[in-house]
Chains A and B, each alone.
Chain A
Amino acid sequence: MEFFVQQLVNGVTLGSVYALIALGYSMVYGILKLLNFAHGEVYMMGAFIGYFVLVGLGGAASPILPVALVIILMFLAGMLGAGILGIAIERFAYRPLRNAPRIAPLISAIGVSFFLQASALLLFTAQFRTYNTPELIPFSVGIEVGPLRISLVRILVITSAIALMIALWLLVNRTRLGKAMRATSYDREAAAMMGIDVDRVIVATFFIGSVLAGAAGVMVGLVFGRVFHFMGFIAGLKGFTAAVIGGIGNIPGAMLGGLLIGLAEAFSAAYISSTFQNLIVFGILITVMLVRPSGLLGSPVLKKV
């Protein structure tokens, strides 16, 4: 039982990270019908920015500022850097292709992903880096629930992920920008005719999605350690899987999908075999795709002829 609950916590932590990545995919796909392959690399850059802020502030062992402030700064820098990167990617790799054949932006996205990975390799070398979180916040600090202890880092990650999702929900459903985003996603042309500045909405979408990915990158650095140039690929695939399982373009769906993927991964690693955990996740995706192509919460799209 204890082991089970431990895995549950693991799965929820992992799932909230995947959910944050999935949200970026889902929002961009909802508005542009574009599969942003470079999203995983934005997340990777976020993790690196967080790492360098931590190192710049004295490293995990001897931070020059209070720990809470260090973590806040890491999150802010990672999110802002990722957001700016997202805007740049949209501006230079996708905007010129707004009206091109469908394959063009996808290939361009693959190119961006390749380019960012190689840049990271060039700038940061192939070395694995760790945030060394235990020195910053010892894992022994945490909440005791009966025989179980949930470490503070995990609580921090889960709560901040939830906070970000609530903020996103409020933004999409309660603000003018959110309304414009929903309208653009529903019908870009009609939205433009209603006086919505579609370009601005798209930029905002990319920024918000990338900010969430940057936050996810810092979270992964805090909880799971290793930061390296190739980390974006698999995480991006899983984030996309989560978005698709939940129903792409659907925000609650992305959260649900992320949680499911995280739990599936944690439990399959714990109870079946860790070598096959990726296979199980991919298997789930392919099954969902074939059985319900619009995802769990998505509604089937009628194709206009």
Chain B
Amino acid sequence: MPRIGTDEWVAQAETRTEHYRGFTAPARRVWDRVTPGARFALFLAVAAAFPFTTDSTFLQRVGVNVLLFALLALGLNIVVGWAGLLDLGYVAFYGFGAYAYAWVSSSQFDLHWPTIATIPAVVVASALLGVLLGLPSWRLVGDYLAITTLFFAQIFVELAVNLDRINLPGSDEPLNLTGGPNGIPGVDPMVIFGIEFLRVRDYFFLLLVVLALVVVGLYSLNDSRTGRAWRAVREDPLAAELMTTPVNRMKLLAFAMGAAIAGLTGTIFAAVQVGVFPQNFEVTLLIMIYAALILGGAGSIQGAILGAIVVASVPEILRTPENARYLFYGALIAVLVAAVRPWQRLAVLVGAAVAFGFAVHEIVALVWPDGVEAGTRGEGLGSLLDSWVVLPAVERVLIGNIAFVLLIAAVLALTQLRRDSRFLLLVPTIYLAAFVWENRLVFQPSVTRQLLFGAILVAMMTRRPHGLLGTPRVENPV
């Protein structure tokens, strides 16, 4: 049952963007006039300057991660964003590329192929694997295709873990194909045209070049017959078939292209990590790639890159409590500024939340002195927070857990309330969020990351299913 008016809303998307309001309007109008090519050149320039701003290998590694994610998201975008095929087996291609590179460039089989021959071979092999795993898309659509491909991803991990003792007929020693849970360590660095890639910074530039090539390729592909055919297949396979689009071939082509990009990314990943391990290619990674693509907006090249930047860098910021704190309060304020209008209301809200916090802190200090522990958060923002957020000295985990459950309940309740009651509930909810953050989440970055991704995926889908930079579209009711 399509909602009445949805089509008009989509149809007006172009005209609507003209009417910017608020103080950011001039900047946004200027930004709109910059051509996509210039935008991308700007991005490349900023990215290329990045490794020179820091000597820290850690930060450069984060940069490499961002680029790896961007490439993966771009590859996935072909299959999911353009052709509309829900491919949950995508990490298998990435893993295959990495393992294939490791097989021919390590002492596993004592093969050390030249990189310049390996990469094309691996890309072609990945594309062929993509065609093979794409074959089910001829018969299966939607969720069925998704689940079948998810099983392929599972099978890949199972094989990677278990194919270390294959008893071949006619040989006494079992064949060790994947190194089992220990993976294949000691993968050779890449050597292209005599340049040996040794440092993390080298791989950053290699990835940047690859990204530039891929983006230029995808950009022209998007506007080509092929790109239009993919979108036709996505919107309505039956109508596309009637218009003589070779639907099945286009599906396979999408799978093959996506797999080729994933395989290529995998080779670089194997080289930069100097090894491949089964746990690098688990479903968690798949969900992160999906999160990047969905967050940026499926179907949009800029979106995929933006999503990758967010998804790959946010977890790193979360790693130290001090940075995580800035990120958390920054995001909280940004959300409030975006969601609460007009500004008078926002000012009242922030004031109320601050007052509420101090009041709670004082009351707890009076009633239960063990409940407030001072001077634990160090300098800066931390010391300011000390007299605002209650930090129990005893039973912190238990209290934090209860508060976490309460927070979920409060956030869910917020989505149901309207106007004044919502406003009233928002004040304690903000405080509760800060409380849970300070007492539980800040110490467990990996859990926090998972929680945030899960929550973001749900919130994104319910509020803005087309992502940050994607185009809203209407789907035919099934």
A contact residues vs B (CB 8 Å cutoff): 29, 33-35, 88, 91-93, 96-108, 110-119, 121-123, 189, 233, 237, 240-241, 244, 275-276, 278-279, 282-283, 285-286, 289-290, 293, 305
Additional A-B contacts beyond A104-B465, A237-B150, A276-B158 (14; CB < 8 A): A35-B146, A92-B415, A103-B84, A106-B86, A106-B146, A110-B457, A115-B451, A119-B408, A237-B151, A241-B151, A244-B147, A290-B140, A293-B144, A305-B238
List the interface of chain B (C-beta within 8 A of A): 1-3, 80, 84, 86, 136, 139-140, 142-144, 146-148, 150-152, 154-155, 158-159, 162, 238, 283, 287, 290, 294, 298, 401, 404-405, 408, 412, 415, 440-441, 444, 447-448, 450-451, 453-458, 460-462, 465, 473-475, 477-478
A96 CA to B463 CA, complexed, in Å: 8
Give the most central of A97, A101, A290, A293: most B CB within 10 Å.
Answer: A101
A289 and B148 form a contact (CB under 8 A): yes
Q: Which residue of B lies closest to A125 (CB)?
A: B397
Task: Knowing A35-B147, A115-B451, A118-B451 are in contact, say whether A108-B158 is a contact too (CB < 8 A).
Answer: no
Contact of A111 among B86, B147, B412, B453 (CB under 8 A): B453
How far is the CB of A272 from the nearest CB of chain B, in Å?
13
Contact of A114 among B287, B405, B412 (CB under 8 A): B287
Decide: B447 and A102 in contact? CB cutoff 8 A: no
| A-chain residues with CB within 8 Å of residue B158 when the two chains form the complex | 276, 278-279, 282
B462 with A93: CB separation less than 8 A:
yes
In the complex, A78 Cα to B424 Cα: how many Å? 34
- If the complex has contacts A107-B294, A112-B454, A289-B148, are A275 and B162 also in contact, measured as CB distance less than 8 A? yes
User: Is A102 a contact partner of B465 (Cβ separation < 8 A)?
Assistant: no
**Complex: A116 Cα to B147 Cα, angstroms:** 20
For residue B194, give the distance in angstroms from its CB to the closest CB of chain A. Answer: 43
Whole-angstrom CA separation of A240 from B146 in the bound complex: 12
Residues of B close to A123: CB separation below 8 A: 401, 404-405
Considering the complex, give the chain A residue whose CB is closest to the CB of B409: A88
Tell me the complex Cα distance, A282–B157, Å: 12
B-chain residues with CB within 8 Å of residue A88 when the two chains form the complex = 412
Contact status A114-B154, CB under 8 Å: no
**Chain A nearest Cβ from B86, distance in angstroms:** 6
**Are A106 and B454 in contact, CB atoms less than 8 angstroms apart?**
no
Q: Is there an interface contact between A102 and B453, defined as CB atoms closer than 8 Å? A: no
Given the contacts A35-B147, A293-B140, A108 and B415 also touching, CB distance less than 8 Å: no
| Complex contact B475–A121 (CB within 8 A) | no
Min CB gap A251→B, angstroms: 19
Sample (5) of A-B pairs whose CB atoms are under 8 Å apart = A103-B80, A111-B458, A115-B451, A118-B450, A290-B148
Q: A244, B144: Cβ atoms under 8 Å? A: yes
CA distance A122 to B455 in the complex (A): 14
In the complex, chain A residues whose CB is within 8 Å of the CB of B143 = 29, 33-35, 102, 106
Task: Return the contact of A282 from the options B140, B155, B408, B448 (Cβ within 8 A).
Answer: B155
Question: A91 — nearest CB in chain B belongs to which residue?
Answer: B412
Q: Do the beta carbons of A99 and B3 come within 8 Å of each other?
A: yes
In the bound complex, residues from chain A placing their C-beta under 8 Å from that of B86 are: 103, 106
A-B pairs with lowest CB-CB distance, top 9: A111-B457, A115-B454, A114-B454, A118-B450, A101-B475, A108-B461, A111-B458, A96-B462, A118-B451
Q: How far is the CA of A163 from the CA of B287 in the complex (A)?
A: 37
Chain A: which residue is nearest B450 at the CB level? A118
Contact B478–A289 (Cβ < 8 Å): no
Q: Which of A97, A114, A123 has the most CB of B within 10 A?
A: A114
Please pick, from A92, A97, A115, A286, the residue contacting B151 in the complex, using a CB distance under 8 A. Answer: A286
CB of B137 to closest CB in A, whole Å: 11
Partner of B478, one of A102, A113, A116, A240: A102
Main secondary structure of the interface of B (DSSP, over half): helix
Residues from chain B with a CB closer than 8 A to the CB of A289 are 136, 140, 144, 147-148
A111 to B457, CA, bound (A): 5
B90 to chain A, nearest CB (A): 13
A93 and B457 CA atoms in complex are apart in Å by 10
In the complex with contacts A110-B287, A115-B455, A122-B404 CB distance below 8 A? yes
A171 CA to B460 CA, complexed, in Å? 36
Give the residues in chain A near B404, CB-CB below 8 Å.
119, 122-123
Whether the pair B162, A113 counts as a contact (CB closer than 8 A) is: no
**B residues near A35, Cβ cutoff 8 Å:** 143, 146-147
The residue from A92, A117, A240, A276 contacting B147, defined by CB atoms under 8 A apart? A240
Partner of B290, one of A110, A237, A275, A279: A110
Chain A residues closer than 8 Å to B444, beta-carbon distance: 122
Judge whether B140 and A97 touch: CB under 8 Å: no
Report the minimum CB–CB distance from B79 to chain A (whole Å): 12
Residues of A within 8 A of B148 (CB): 285-286, 289-290
Q: State whether B458 touches A93 (Cβ < 8 A).
A: yes
CB distance from B154 to the nearest CB of A (A): 6
Partner of B465, one of A97, A275, A279: A97
Asked if residues A282 and B154 are in contact (CB atoms below 8 Å), the reply is: yes
CA distance A279 to B478 in the complex (A): 33
Q: Choose from A111, A189, A286, A305 the contact partner of B455 (Cβ within 8 Å).
A: A111
Interface centre among A91, A115, A244, A278 (most CB of B within 10 A): A115
Q: Contacts of A102 on B, CB cut-off 8 Å?
A: 142-143, 475, 478
Q: How far is the CB of B252 from chain A (nearest CB, A)?
A: 15
Q: A118–B478 contact, CB under 8 A? A: no
Contacts of B460 in A (CB 8 A): 107, 111
Q: Are B139 and A278 in contact (CB under 8 A)?
A: no
Give the complex CA separation of A122 and B436 in angstroms.
Answer: 11
**Contact yes or no, B461 A279, CB < 8 A:** no
A residues near B146, Cβ cutoff 8 Å: 35, 106
For B447, what are the chain A residues with a Cβ–Cβ distance below 8 Å? 118, 121-122
Nearest CB in chain B to that of A94: its residue: B462
A101 touches B473 (CB 8 A): yes
- Which residues in B have their C-beta under 8 angstroms from that of A29? 143
Contact A276 B162, CB 8 Å, known A114-B450, A293-B140: yes
B residues near A233, Cβ cutoff 8 Å: 283
How many whole Å from A242's CB to the nearest CB in chain B? 12
Closest-by-CB residue of A relative to B411 is A92
Residue of B whose beta carbon sits closest to that of A118: B450
A88 to B413, CA, bound (A): 11
- How far apart are B463's CB and chain A's nearest CB, in angstroms? 8
CA distance A111 to B415 in the complex (A): 17
A108, A121, A275, A293: which contacts B458 (Cβ < 8 A)?
A108
Q: With A and B bound together, what is the CA distance between A276 and B458 in angstroms?
A: 34
Q: Measured between C-beta atoms, what is the minimum distance from B33 to chain A in Å?
A: 31
Residue of chain A at shortest CB distance from B3? A99
* CB-CB nearest in chain A for B162: A275
B residues in contact with A275, CB < 8 Å: 162
Residues from chain B with Cβ under 8 Å of A237 in the complex: 150-151, 154
Nearest neighbor of A234 in chain B, beta-carbon distance: B154
In the complex, what distance in Å separates the CA atom of A64 from the CA atom of B340?
A: 52
Q: Is the CB of B140 within 8 A of A113?
A: no
Distance between Cα atoms of A279 and B444 in the complex (Å): 33
Residues of A within 8 A of B140 (CB): 289-290, 293
B294: A residues at CB distance < 8 A: 107
